[in-house]
Chains A and B, each alone.
Chain A
Amino acid sequence: MENKSFLEVKSICKSFGSLKAVNDVSMRIETGEILGLIGPNGSGKSTFINLITAMLKKDSGSVMLDGVDLSSMPAHKVPKNGLARTYQTVRLFKNLTCRENLIIGAIGVGISQKEANKIADELLEEMGLAEKADSFVENLTFSEQRFLEISRALACKPKFVLLDEPAAGLNEEETQHMLDLLKELPAKKHIGILIVDHDMHLIMTLCDKLHVLNYGQTIAEGKPEVVRANPEVVKAYLGSTAE
């Protein structure tokens, strides 16, 4: 294996007025790992992603990727430093073709247009979107849009990607397809993944580790089986969803 990268979040905090949306959360992911971030609605998962990608200004704490603090740089410099993301509500460039959407992902971090073209076509092929290369986004199914957004995150050749509910809105078959794809990504692309999702089957099958938030605070972390059995987790979250 090539050298590993590390993404380390230390005691990150964010309040909206009196609401502590993310309260002293720390975690660590390395290349090759899939970490699942779960928690009830409004527990601060998306806010956490916005903080580590610097889309939101943190109140305190740090986000180090291989020794570089991401949380204090302008948000647009984060992908160039190796961290890409997707959004809970799909965000694509609707007046650009699928290929152009991916080209943006690559040229955004300074890859040449020629190289970006190559990266885009390879990703379209891998994701089974080759046929739609010159279509506009509205001609894709919802699940294809999710795949395209993930491809765009991969186009910048990141070290880590953060996926905010990639399976939300997908049917069972599409979710399985998503699972198959995500399962092989870390090894194939030499990346680490942080995934947020409410689909417990997906999370349990996919993740090497889990991290559970409730009211912005960490209530459990560790191996999926262990976390799942944690009484506080069951009470806060799994109790209602599983069984």
Chain B
Amino acid sequence: MAKNRIKNNHGISSKLSTPIMLSVILVLVGYFIWWLNIPFVQDIYTSAAITLVMVLGFQIFNGNSGILSWSYVGFVGIGAFSSAIFSMTPQMKSMQMPEMYPFLVNIHVPFVVALILGAIVAAIIAAVVAWPMMKISDDAGAITQFALLIVIHVILAQWSKVTNGPRTFTLGGQTLTTIWVAMISGVVVLFIAYFFKESSLGLKLRATRDDRYAACSSGIDMVKTRYLSYIFSAAIGGFAGGLYSHYILSINASAFYMTLLFNLLSMAVIGGKMSVSGAFFGTILLTLARQGLRQIEPVLTNMGVNASGSTEIIVAVLMIVFLVFRANGIMDRYELSPSSLKSLFSRKKKAEKKSA
């Protein structure tokens, strides 16, 4: 029958294969590192898994809409502060932040609930501010995003009664984002980011990225599509922020500004911002590269070469090299899946045959 000629790879099993394969890697590596039981390595893994959640949340909007969403890290910050406020005990809060609004001091909910509330706060703020911004594309869109990030940053840095202002916000207590919490969150958000991309909303968002006129004449309401996706992305960012603050235990507004943005952006760009697998491999690769470079910096300094800051320079140059030679990153538009592995393999075989 003619129908059989189309191999439809939209079955449930193949739809799941990408997040499953990525999760298996994440969990196996995590389990191995836990078994190794070297605290320094465990710390690297935990913070990498938290960063992965951040990059995935970033990819959800930035990667699928094509709009550079600078403001994303602001929502990570909003989630970081608000979940911390929700989870800390009133005693701890009045001790650490004597200026805080009393009604905030009195809130106290379990850690997981605080994480979710952090995501919700970020989503609500995104919902309030984002609508008019979603009408703007290209450079102008990126500039409004940048402006919003500055607004969020200044508020986080100055609102003493909520964030402790320019002083450090100390959570106290023990690290709630353990290696397991980070790993499970990574797995859950891998599935979320992948299903978002394949969802009706994600498909529409990708259509507006590729051609907004054609998207419009296909019936897509671009502003609404972007708006809902942006809120969703902000929620994941807020969640990631909560993971971060309950891991690092003392935060301030500058942790959610240019440095973080550059870090997430380099991972997304080098891994491939259109692909969930790209976010995954970009995070792994850059975490390893940064750790490696950081080990080398002091060695060079000992040898009399002033190498401080060279890590950032190398990462920045690497990003430029990618943008010039492989603008869509390592994964381009592809996802890790049995069929993409197979076609990669057969392409290699063909190339070998040709050269033989």
Would A104 and B6 be within 8 Å (CB), given that A55-B217, A74-B221, A76-B219 are in contact? no
CB-contacts of A56-92 with B (<8 A): 74-80, 84-85, 87, 91-92
Name A55's contact: one of B207, B211, B213, B221 (CB within 8 Å): B213
Tell me if B200 is interfacial: C-beta within 8 Å of chain A: yes
Question: For B126, what are the chain A residues with a Cβ–Cβ distance below 8 Å?
Answer: none
Question: For A95, what are the chain B residues with a Cβ–Cβ distance below 8 Å?
Answer: 206, 209-210, 274, 333
Name B217's contact: one of A53, A94, A107 (CB within 8 Å): A53
Tell me if A34 is interfacial: C-beta within 8 Å of chain B: no
Name A105's contact: one of B10, B213, B218 (CB within 8 Å): B218
Closest to A113 in B: B200
Closest chain-A Cβ to B10's Cβ sits at a distance in Å of 6
Question: For B207, what are the chain A residues with a Cβ–Cβ distance below 8 Å?
Answer: 93, 96, 104, 108
Closest chain-A Cβ to B244's Cβ sits at a distance in Å of 31
Report how far A77 CA is from B200 CA in the complex, Å.
17
Band of interface residues on A: 35 or more
Closest to B334 in A: A136
Question: For B213, what are the chain A residues with a Cβ–Cβ distance below 8 Å?
Answer: 55, 87, 91
B219–A93 CB distance below 8 A:
no
Give 1 or 0 for each of B197-223: 1 = CB within 8 Å of chain A CB: 001100110110111011111111110
Report how far A179 CA is from B280 CA in the complex, Å.
47
Report how far A85 CA is from B274 CA in the complex, Å.
28
Report how far A37 CA is from B167 CA in the complex, Å.
69
Residues on A lying within 8 angstroms of B by beta carbon are 53, 55, 74-80, 84-85, 87, 91-96, 99-100, 103-105, 107-110, 113, 117, 121, 124-125, 130-131, 133-134, 136, 152, 156
Knowing that A107-B203, A117-B10, A152-B214 touch, tell me 18 more A-B residue pairs with CB under 8 angstroms. Answer: A76-B222, A78-B219, A79-B217, A80-B219, A87-B213, A91-B213, A93-B211, A94-B211, A99-B10, A104-B204, A104-B207, A104-B215, A108-B204, A108-B219, A110-B219, A121-B6, A125-B3, A133-B8
